[in-house]
Amino acid sequence: GAVVSQHPSRVICKSGTSVKIECRSLDFQATTMFWYRQFPKQSLMLMATSNEGSKATYEQGVEKDKFLINHASLTLSTLTVTSAHPEDSSFYICSARGDTGDGYEQYFGPGTRLTVT
Amino acid sequence: ELKVEQNPLFLSMQEGKNYTIYCNYSTTSDRLYWYRQDPGKSLESLFVLLSNGAVKQEGRLMASLDTKARLSTLHITAAVHDLSATYFCAVDASGSARQLTFGSGTQLTVLP
């Protein structure tokens, strides 16, 4: 149980284009989903928290107009990187918060490798 | 602001040896996680520590939590090459998985 998927797993796009990444909780409902970014050899940095049906909360320094997050259902959140530039190249990981029966936990997706050329 | 410090950042060890990775954090929390990350992959959950004095073991890895000292340790016993990976601790400031703050990670290389 508690499986989170991401699509695509890898994407290459040209500078100036937009890319959408999907995060799905496959076997549980996630009222809260999180988006993290990880640069090479670095730790995970939280970008934003999204609650189903409401606007995402962005961490300081994350441009909300550049990283559009939509959490339209209890099983799906999307991250759209608009007008991508090479410095946006990174590993994007989502997580979904779900109740295991023993309390809430975050379950991590497999990640999406974005390369902007 | 919660700060989570891991050390060492890099660790090379010989197969068969023992070592400990440390995770210190700056504010009160009763929930701490250990994850493993292989190159190019996402996080694999290793341990969830939910109370002071919690100790969990899986194979050659053992994790413990001292909430009073704000310290968790990940002990590696008789290391093998397959344990080579980056290990992260993460502290839950909310108590209900609403906010995880990650340490900087420890890149472990086990040498033959």
- Chain B positions contacting chain A at CB under 8 Å are 35, 40-43, 45, 48, 88, 96-100, 102-105, 107
Identify all chain A residues contacting B40, using CB atoms and an 8 Å cutoff.
Answer: 113
Measure CB to CB from residue B88 to each of A43, A105, A109 and give the nearest one.
A43
Say what the pLDDT of residue B30 is.
78
Q: Is B82 left (phi over 0), alpha (psi -120 to 50) or beta?
A: alpha
Identify all chain A residues contacting B96, using CB atoms and an 8 Å cutoff.
Answer: 103-104
Measure CB to CB from residue A108 to each of B42, B48, B105 and give the nearest one.
B42
CA–CA gap between residue B21 and residue B7 (Å, rounded): 6
pLDDT digits 0-9 by tens, A34-81? 999 999 999 999 999 999 888 899 999 999 999 999 998 999 999 999
Q: Provide the token pair at B6.
A: 């891991």
Q: Is A102 left (phi over 0), alpha (psi -120 to 50) or beta?
A: alpha
Say what the pLDDT of residue A64 is.
94
Say what the pLDDT of residue A5 is.
97
